[in-house]
Structure 1
Amino acid sequence: MYNLPPRIADRLDSGQFANLHTFLVVARYRSFSKAAEELCLTSGAVSHRIKRLENALGMDLFVRLTRQIALTSDGERLFSILQRTMSELAAALAPASEEQVEGRITVYARPSLAACWLVPKLADFAGKFPGVSVDLRVGNEPIDFRTRNIDLAIDYTRGPFPGLISYKLMDESVAPVCSPSYAAEHSLVGSPANLVDCTLLHDSLAWNNASHDAEWALWCDQHVPEATTNRRSFTFDRSDLCITAAENHLGVAMGRKHLVQSHIENGTLVLPFGPFSEASPYSYYLVHQPEDLPRRAGVFVEWLREIARSSSS
């Protein structure tokens, strides 16, 4: 957590800490009226608290639009810090003994992230928390805690998540990948222009409301615009199926670093145009409802954030 300049720190009295909590609720809902309902205040009182906090910090936290509000960059930074601090506080106040943590949690995740990144790491969690069972569900449907009996969800998105608590787990970067033999057959190494003669492999559900070729369209727009006119392509509804198809010489897939890194390391896939240098506009987020999590879910959250930090380093 960054250190506040003394002038600002001196102005964060007990009343301002209440205003910080009000800010946390408003930022979660992106709504003064919904925050007012949860806090049992009027919308005017909520707005007044936020204005006092903004004046104390010397920064604007929200952009007030006609029918909605949005966080400023300073607001996003403060929101992230407060969410992390509350999570760490909850963990600090929980029972110290990991062996006492027991029960079952249900986690909903994007299929490709589950298959390529999460599942290979679950043995580590099981070793640290033998009393906790994980029920992992996968799907491409938007997260809806009202209709799904789940404790936590992991999504590949931009957010936001009104009314929910969310943590950014990892950013992502992308680059084309294919098998070594496919790269050699089509003379791809160092020659992205040769993509026009290749089969492109598409994840048609890369993120919510994505077009079938959304990932390739973003990359090609920056590198090889003419490649998007390829007549031959194969489309799947999961990125891991694109990876499997690429490993088996069907064509070139748009690889997400966290999903394909192990395949690059074991040599079944190559990066014909160089390393992962293109940042994805989407990131991986962990999401849950605003109620306090049970201890068994809390330890999974902290474990997940730790392995995400390790993966990103």
Structure 2
Amino acid sequence: MNSEEILANKNEFINRYQLSKLHTFESAARHLSFALAAEELCISPSAVSHQINKLEEELNFKLFERFHRRITLTHDGKNLFTVVKKSLNILNQEILDIKNKDVAGGLTIYSCPSFIQEFLIPKLSQFTDYYPYITLNIISGNKAINFSQYPIDLAIYYDSLHYDELACEHLISETILPVCTPSYAHQYNLYNNPENLKNCVLLHHNHNKLLDFGFDEWQSWANHFSLSIDFNKIQNMLFDRSDHSVTAAINNAGIAIGRKQIIAKYLDSGQLVAPFADLEAPCTQRYYICKSLEKYNPKADIFIQWLKSYV
């Protein structure tokens, strides 16, 4: 078919086009596998192959090169895949925009800095993709905040308490364990030798107690495993933010108590290690999310459901 014939038949071709075949093609092209496309679409591989064959007949050009155990896109197939993928993305975004057009405006969230930095921020782009009309205003702090005095819609706390005047939902349970860099662990021969902590600098989160040199998390961890540690005879360094104590550990300043949910990425990357891997203590504290009992905010409920899908 020459270009004049294509133009002459353009409207007829578009009208009789079957979107289901394009959907099947997009899946097969993305996976480069009829079997994987069939699994995703909940149809048989032969049905995928049949739809692709029919689509190639209608288009009058090949989309795939077939080999014994694999398929590849032809040049024309690559071009069509680019257009179809872009079109589906536009369609999906338009559907989201229509569904979410009545859910718009600001949403103010208050939480501790470490949760915002390590858990929340890496996921926010996904929230804005789904809810582009909700403007997030994120505020950090370590103290409980009064909803009646501040324009806060949601608060995410790390605590062992509930607040009677708020509606609170459990979000994440937490465990704690000592963490440091691999070089620090080797330097002080820490692997499976907790008694060598006496030679280290212990890094503490001091819960914003400016004059109270308490050793809350380290003490809780030691008590759980019946370890006798005299913190007053060990070199200590205290921070009012838990993420600062972890950052200090990453920079070889000492060994910190890490909250497993928050520091998981540093353990996975190898920046930090847990020299006493079997000594992971549960916490009485956990992360929970709170909202006002006095006013209904659909944006707050949307954010809570979105956040809970990641935990």
- Partner residue, 1:45: none
Going from structure 1 to structure 2, the CA distance change for 1:302 and 1:118 (only over 3 Å counts) comes to: same
Aligned residues of 1:199 and 1:234 also touching (Cα < 8 A):
yes
Query: Within 2, Cα distance between the matches of 1:218 and 1:178?
Result: 18
Query: Within 2, Cα distance between the matches of 1:277 and 1:206?
Result: 24
| SS in structure 2 at match of 1:302 | helix
What are the residue-to-residue correspondences of 1:1-313 with 2, within 5 Å?
97-205=99-207, 212-223=214-225, 224-275=227-278, 277-308=280-311
Kindly state the Cα deviation for residue 276 of structure 1 after the two structures are TM-superposed. 6.5
| SS in structure 2 at match of 1:225 | coil
| SS in structure 2 at match of 1:97 | helix
Letter of the aligned partner of 1:280 in structure 2?
C
Letter of the aligned partner of 1:156 in structure 2?
Y
Query: Within 2, Cα distance between the matches of 1:233 and 1:205?
Result: 15
Query: Within 2, Cα distance between the matches of 1:210 and 1:168?
Result: 29
Going from structure 1 to structure 2, the CA distance change for 1:277 and 1:182 (only over 3 Å counts) comes to: same
Aligned residues of 2:199 and 2:234 also touching (Cα < 8 A):
no
Q: Name structure 2 gaps, 5 residues minimum.
A: 1-97
Query: Identity over the aligned pairs, expressed in percent?
Result: 33
| Number of residues of Structure 1 aligned to a counterpart in Structure 2 | 212
Query: Within 2, Cα distance between the matches of 1:184 and 1:265?
Result: 18
Going from structure 1 to structure 2, the CA distance change for 1:108 and 1:276 (only over 3 Å counts) comes to: farther
Aligned residues of 1:204 and 1:236 also touching (Cα < 8 A):
yes
Going from structure 1 to structure 2, the CA distance change for 1:154 and 1:104 (only over 3 Å counts) comes to: same
RMSD: 2.0
Kindly state the Cα deviation for residue 293 of structure 1 after the two structures are TM-superposed. 2.8
Letter of the aligned partner of 2:272 in structure 1?
L
Kindly state the Cα deviation for residue 130 of structure 1 after the two structures are TM-superposed. 1.0
Query: Within 1, Cα distance between the matches of 2:180 and 2:259?
Result: 12
Q: Name structure 1 gaps, 5 residues minimum.
A: 1-95, 309-313
Kindly state the Cα deviation for residue 143 of structure 1 after the two structures are TM-superposed. 2.2
Aligned residues of 1:199 and 1:232 also touching (Cα < 8 A):
yes
| SS in structure 2 at match of 1:137 | strand
Q: Normalising by structure 2, what TM-score?
A: 0.64
Aligned residues of 1:205 and 1:211 also touching (Cα < 8 A):
no
Aligned residues of 1:176 and 1:272 also touching (Cα < 8 A):
yes
| SS in structure 2 at match of 1:150 | coil
Kindly name which structure, 1 or 2, has the bigger radius of gyration based on alpha carbons: 2
Query: Within 2, Cα distance between the matches of 1:243 and 1:271?
Result: 12
Kindly state the Cα deviation for residue 301 of structure 1 after the two structures are TM-superposed. 1.3
Kindly state the Cα deviation for residue 232 of structure 1 after the two structures are TM-superposed. 1.0
Aligned residues of 2:200 and 2:234 also touching (Cα < 8 A):
no
Q: Normalising by structure 1, what TM-score?
A: 0.64
Query: Within 2, Cα distance between the matches of 1:258 and 1:234?
Result: 23
Aligned residues of 2:169 and 2:289 also touching (Cα < 8 A):
yes
Query: Within 2, Cα distance between the matches of 1:267 and 1:277?
Result: 18
